[in-house]
């Protein structure tokens, strides 16, 4: 029995046939896959689970920190040095010296990190290429590395490169918020891997990205041909991220998910809005899913604004625990300056909580009309939106409930997995032709 796959890339359509019951051996690689914090670990977990449910054999190849996976999915560890588990030189030196047999990549990783670089992407790609020298996989799905090593793998087996958004955007905002020439030099050194990614991206045969906005940015910033870039949105686990009818909302509690010291996430503007609201709403609290760097910019700003009693940090939460925090809160806020997709946006909507989000990048693609969209870098707009929802909660709750249905209909992981499956078949077919 056969099925016909019809998928569209750019303006071209391809028809081809595969056996309906064909079970593929799929490798998914990710240079780091932290299960809590950041979207890479979430993406790897969800995509692997969804493709496995379609009947495929899935192996995850990951550098540290490693992802949490379903028991049926195999994890192959690519043990880099994981130097960014600490920023203390003595501890990094100990990690390096304790490795008995040091490869060229180990030396490069240590020296580059010593001088302020981020070498993990390049060294992971090299280790991945060595690991897949005699690969039996039908295809590799690489998550975000765009490394020379992945380019080498592409010469041997089909590869789909996942680019959630070009890291050029992170670099632009980090430079913009840098103070003084030394900070700018430091950021330039950290993002030096971008030179490699700009070389690799145009040479990848297939790139998948989760939004039209990201597709446009990849084509522009990485000079990648648009015909090679496929838009497949990320899915949202709307089963675990769902309303909790038995949990009541805490008076004045708001929630946001943010890497606190990353300028791209725009947490500063939410904090300033909370400061402006504190006199009128003394009970106001902001739960931040994430953690600030000790002594970093965010901690200093909280102290300056006298918000220590109003900010609650929570880290390493499971999906179920995050959903409970949404259920306890009255409003979710996403004040990002840029999002390639934005899991927190979709997860908040799936939990039926009124959402305030910046009208930038991919966010309107996800929210449609079911969120209160505001300009970026505008604490006054955040404050105004919070007041509107506080004074008319029932109106915004109706819209939040509609937003959950929007997520279920458009961002279900099983539907997304089928789109990936079609792209996988098509990529294999073109590779073999």
Residue-wise pLDDT for 24-63, tens only, equals: 999 999 999 987 666 888 899 999 999 999 999 999 999 9
Q: CA–CA separation, 371 vs 367, rounded Å? A: 6
Per-residue confidence (pLDDT) for residue 294, from 0 to 100: 82
Per-residue confidence (pLDDT) for residue 7, from 0 to 100: 33
Looking at the chain, the whole-number percentage of residues with pLDDT higher than 90 is 85
Q: 265 Cβ partners below 8 Å, 6+ apart? A: 258, 259, 335, 336, 337
Q: What's the whole-number mean pLDDT along residues 306-327?
A: 95
Residue pair 255/333 in contact by the 8 Å Cβ criterion: yes
pLDDT surpassing 70 at residue 219: yes
Cα 53 from chain centre? 22
User: Do 209 and 331 reside in the same domain of the chain?
Assistant: no
The token pair that represents 29 in the structure block:
């690689």
Helix (H) or strand (E) holding 18: strand 12-19
User: Do 274 and 175 reside in the same domain of the chain?
Assistant: no
User: Do 180 and 294 reside in the same domain of the chain?
Assistant: no
User: Do 174 and 43 reside in the same domain of the chain?
Assistant: yes
Q: What's the whole-number mean pLDDT along residues 342-358?
A: 97
Residue pair 135/27 in contact by the 8 Å Cβ criterion: yes
Q: What residue has token string 């909507």?
A: 349
Per-residue confidence (pLDDT) for residue 20, from 0 to 100: 47
User: Do 428 and 350 reside in the same domain of the chain?
Assistant: no
CATH of the domain at 101: 3.40.50.2000
User: Do 189 and 314 reside in the same domain of the chain?
Assistant: no
Looking at the chain, the whole-number percentage of residues with pLDDT higher than 70 is 94
The token pair that represents 367 in the structure block:
């929210």
Q: Rounded to two decimals, what is the model's pTM? A: 0.90
Q: 309 Cβ partners below 8 Å, 6+ apart? A: none
Distances 402 to 40, 363, 386, 412 between C-alpha atoms, Å = 28, 17, 19, 15
pLDDT surpassing 50 at residue 391: yes
The token pair that represents 100 in the structure block:
């008995």
Strands 2-9 and 12-19: antiparallel
Per-residue confidence (pLDDT) for residue 316, from 0 to 100: 86
| Residue 78 belongs to a domain | yes
| Residue 49 belongs to a domain | yes
User: Do 189 and 268 reside in the same domain of the chain?
Assistant: no
9-23, 68-82, 159-173, 193-207: segment of lowest average pLDDT: 9-23
Q: What's the whole-number mean pLDDT along residues 111-132?
A: 97
Number of domain units in the chain: 2
Distances 297 to 65, 256, 291 between C-alpha atoms, Å = 25, 18, 12
- In degrees and rounded to multiples of 5, residue 243 shows phi and psi of -65, 145
Helix (H) or strand (E) holding 162: strand 159-162
Residue 16: which domain range? 2-235+412-432
Q: What's the whole-number mean pLDDT along residues 73-77?
A: 96
Helix (H) or strand (E) holding 333: strand 331-334
Q: What's the whole-number mean pLDDT along residues 232-252?
A: 96
Q: What residue has token string 């004045």?
A: 252
Q: What's the whole-number mean pLDDT along residues 68-97?
A: 94
Q: CA–CA separation, 255 vs 232, rounded Å? A: 28
């Amino acid at each position: 029995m056969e099925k016909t796959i019809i998928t569209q890339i750019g303006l071209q359509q391809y028809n081809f046939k595969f056996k309906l019951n064909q079970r593929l051996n799929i490798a998914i690689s990710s240079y780091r896959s932290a299960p809590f914090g950041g979207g890479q670990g979430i993406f790897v977990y969800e995509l692997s689970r969804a493709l496995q449910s379609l009947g495929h054999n899935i192996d995850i190849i990951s550098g540290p920190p490693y992802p949490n996976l379903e028991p049926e999915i195999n994890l192959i560890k690519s043990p880099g040095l994981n130097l960014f588990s600490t920023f203390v030189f003595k501890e990094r030196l100990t990690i390096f010296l304790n490795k008995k047999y040091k490869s060229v990549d180990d030396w490069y990783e240590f020296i580059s990190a010593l001088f302020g670089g981020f070498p993990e992407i390049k060294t992971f790609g090299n280790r991945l290429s060595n690991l897949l020298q005699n690969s039996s996989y039908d295809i590799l799905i690489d998550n975000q590395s765009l490394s020379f090593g992945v380019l080498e793998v592409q010469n041997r087996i089909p590869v789909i490169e996942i680019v959630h958004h070009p890291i050029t955007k992170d670099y632009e905002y980090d430079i913009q918020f840098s103070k003084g020439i030394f900070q700018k030099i430091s950021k330039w050194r950290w993002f030096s891997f971008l030179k490699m990614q700009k070389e690799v991206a145009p040479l990848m045969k297939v790139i998948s990205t989760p939004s039209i906005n990201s597709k446009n940015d990849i084509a522009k910033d990485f000079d990648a041909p648009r015909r090679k870039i496929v838009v497949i949105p990320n899915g949202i686990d709307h089963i675990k991220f769902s309303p909790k009818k038995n949990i009541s909302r805490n008076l004045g509690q708001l929630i946001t998910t943010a890497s606190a010291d990353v300028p791209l996430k725009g947490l500063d503007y939410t904090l300033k809005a909370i400061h402006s609201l504190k006199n009128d709403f003394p009970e106001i609290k902001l739960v931040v899913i994430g953690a600030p760097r000790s002594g970093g910019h965010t901690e200093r700003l909280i102290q300056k604004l006298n918000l220590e009693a109003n900010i609650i940090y929570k880290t390493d939460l499971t999906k179920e625990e995050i959903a409970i925090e949404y259920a306890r809160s009255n409003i979710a806020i996403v004040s990002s300056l840029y999002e390639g997709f934005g899991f927190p946006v979709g997860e908040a909507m799936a939990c039926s909580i009124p959402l305030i989000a910046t009208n930038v990048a991919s966010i309107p693609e996800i929210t449609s009309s079911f969120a209160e969209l505001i300009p970026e870098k505008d604490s006054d707009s955040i404050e105004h939106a919070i007041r509107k929802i506080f004074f008319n909660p029932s109106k915004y709750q109706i819209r939040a409930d509609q937003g959950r249905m929007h997520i279920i209909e458009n961002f279900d992981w099983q539907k997304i997995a089928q789109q990936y499956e079609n792209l996988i078949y098509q990529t294999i077919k073109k590779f073999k032709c």
